[in-house]
Amino acid sequence: MSEESDVRRSRKPGEAETPRVERSGSVWRIRGLTAARQVLQARHATTQAGFTAEAIPKGFFRHHPILVSDGPLHDEQRKKVGRFFAPAVVARRHRAGIESRAAAFVAAAVRADEPCLLDELALRFTVDVTREIVGINHSSLDGMCRRLVSFFNQPPLDITKPDYGRTRAQWAQAAFNALLPIARFYLADVRPAIRALRKNPGDDVVSHLLAEGYSTADILVECVTYGTAGMVTTREFIVMAAWHLLDDDRLRARYLAAQEEERFAILHEILRLEPVVGHLYRRVQEPVEITDGGTTWTVPSGDLVDICVRQTNTDPEAVGERPTGVCPARSMPPGADATGLSFSDGAHKCPGRPLAITETDSFLVRLLRHDPVIVDAPSLEWDNLIEGYALRGMRLRFPRARAGAL
């Protein structure tokens, strides 16, 4: 394959592309899409091991956080909370608010005298949209953005190593770096929301959790989850998608001329190539059989599986020709999502997928109609906590606005 056909921006230095299935001691690394989906769909035979899930005490919370819970409890939580993010609900209840916010944020950026810093603009937009759905919109938007970003100031970790590869000093630093931002987030954002919604419940996630008898600690952790796994990761994808579309005149023209279905297909392809979360981890509780290319393995109980999302999503045996190019009409294997495993699969498939794509499309359509020009390309950094990328410093200017087109 020629170098020109690979348009990925989030290729991590030193990260192996092969073999498709690799075992090193008790750690399995899977880079083939079919085998990876077999692991993720092995309900009740595997448990969540990503996001430091195994370090969270099981008896500490009355309701174990949805991101890291498993089994019947997780299924029941997903069923109840999923209604807030279902495609029909997003379209019926939230689309108008999403579009009005997108228009307002983009218009303010276009009118400004200085170039727009896209990652900050996208963060404010995604937080403003999602916090209303969650029910934590009783505090300052800019303050909440700062508090959410501070969660990611963590020492390095490696989930495949004993004790996550951290020293005692690093664990102490991690605890300090996490607890202080969480305390600030609780006092400034979550506690005011709980107090307000106890008196006047709304149709939002926190009101639902209160009705289900969740404790304050339970609600706090769920809000942290929606804040970091939802709002902040969508920000990264908005910047990444904008980068692709601004660097490809033909793709941008196609995107702006297309109806929503085709625009979504273009965004799905970009996200398949550039998954924000690059690794998914599962602990095997019962032996799991996986098959790839005619070879079958049995992963024994107790082993850790590292699903390498950047590789599974560009698996040529699954996604076909030009696996590292943007092909919106791509045919995926039966049952596979158009974004590959970017939203995971199986019991832990992300319920926020419709919201994230709708947000991204609403924002980018309005942004790109103003013909922005890249002043500074973003720098790409890596975050060990979510195993994903962070794009910072992308600045845009709007020459047409300066010429009096607004």
pLDDT exceeding 70 applies to what percent of the chain? Answer: 91
How many domains is the chain partitioned into structurally? 1
pLDDT at 229 (0 to 100):
73
Amino acid of residue 222: E
Q: pLDDT for 124-134, tens place per residue? A: 999 999 999 99
Q: What is the DSSP letter of 128?
A: H
More confident residue, 221 or 356: 356
Give the mean pLDDT of 79-93. Answer: 85
Confidence category of residue 86, pLDDT binned at 50, 70, 90: confident
CB atoms within 10 A of CB 105: 21
Please list, in sequence order, all residues whose beta carbon lies within 8 angstroms of the beta carbon of residue 13, skipping any fewer than 6 positions away.
Answer: none
pLDDT at 406 (0 to 100):
45
Confidence category of residue 79, pLDDT binned at 50, 70, 90: confident
What CATH number is given to the structural domain containing 281?
A: 1.10.630.10
Buried residues in 376-402 as b, exposed as e (16+ CB within 10 A): eebebeebbbbbbbbbebbbbbbeebe
pLDDT at 193 (0 to 100):
97
Closest CA to 122 of 350, 394, 342: 394
Q: What are phi and psi of 136, to 5 degrees?
A: -115, 45
Tally the residues of the chain: 406
Amino acid of residue 129: V
Whether residue 232 is predicted with pLDDT greater than 90 in this model: the reply is no
Whether residue 167 is predicted with pLDDT greater than 50 in this model: the reply is yes
Whether residue 3 is predicted with pLDDT greater than 50 in this model: the reply is no
Structure tokens of 168? Answer: 């005692």
Whether residue 151 is predicted with pLDDT greater than 70 in this model: the reply is yes
Of the listed ranges 74-78, 193-197, 248-252, the least confidently predicted one is: 74-78
Buried residues in 352-364 as b, exposed as e (16+ CB within 10 A): bbbbbbbbbbbbb
The answer to whether 136 touches 206, Cβ cutoff 8 Å, is yes
pLDDT at 103 (0 to 100):
98
Mark out the alpha helices in 135-215 (DSSP H runs): 141-150, 168-185, 191-199, 205-211
- State whether residue 289 is helix, strand or coil: strand
Query: The domain containing residue 216 runs over which residues?
Result: 3-402
Q: What are phi and psi of 188, to 5 degrees?
A: -90, -30
Give the mean pLDDT of 45-50. Answer: 87
Measured between alpha carbons, how far apart are the two ends of the chain, in Å? 44
Q: What is the mean pLDDT of the chain?
A: 90
Mark out the alpha helices in 186-280 (DSSP H runs): 191-199, 205-211, 216-225, 233-247, 249-257, 260-273
Confidence category of residue 389, pLDDT binned at 50, 70, 90: very high
Structure tokens of 341? Answer: 């495993």
pLDDT at 387 (0 to 100):
80
Provide the β-strand partners of residue 30.
Answer: 21, 307
What distances in angstroms separate CA 365 from CA 263, 319, 357, 398, 402, one per listed residue? 9, 27, 12, 15, 20
pLDDT at 81 (0 to 100):
77
Provide the β-strand partners of residue 189.
Answer: none
Whether residue 140 is predicted with pLDDT greater than 60 in this model: the reply is yes
State how far Cα 272 lies from the chain centre: 12
Q: What is the DSSP letter of 194?
A: H
pLDDT at 258 (0 to 100):
97
pLDDT at 1 (0 to 100):
33
Confidence category of residue 56, pLDDT binned at 50, 70, 90: low
pLDDT at 38 (0 to 100):
97
Whether residue 246 is predicted with pLDDT greater than 90 in this model: the reply is yes
pLDDT at 404 (0 to 100):
54
Closest CA to 279 of 304, 307, 303: 307
Mark out the alpha helices in 336-376 (DSSP H runs): 353-368
What distances in angstroms separate CA 333 from CA 33, 196, 264, 337, one per listed residue? 9, 47, 18, 8
| Reported pTM | 0.93
Mark out the alpha helices in 63-137 (DSSP H runs): 71-81, 87-89, 95-111, 118-134
More confident residue, 176 or 22: 22
Confidence category of residue 362, pLDDT binned at 50, 70, 90: very high
Whether residue 197 is predicted with pLDDT greater than 90 in this model: the reply is yes
Closest CA to 240 of 110, 387, 389: 389
Q: pLDDT for 317-349, tens place per residue? A: 999 999 999 999 899 999 999 999 999 998 888
- State whether residue 301 is helix, strand or coil: coil
CB atoms within 10 A of CB 211: 11
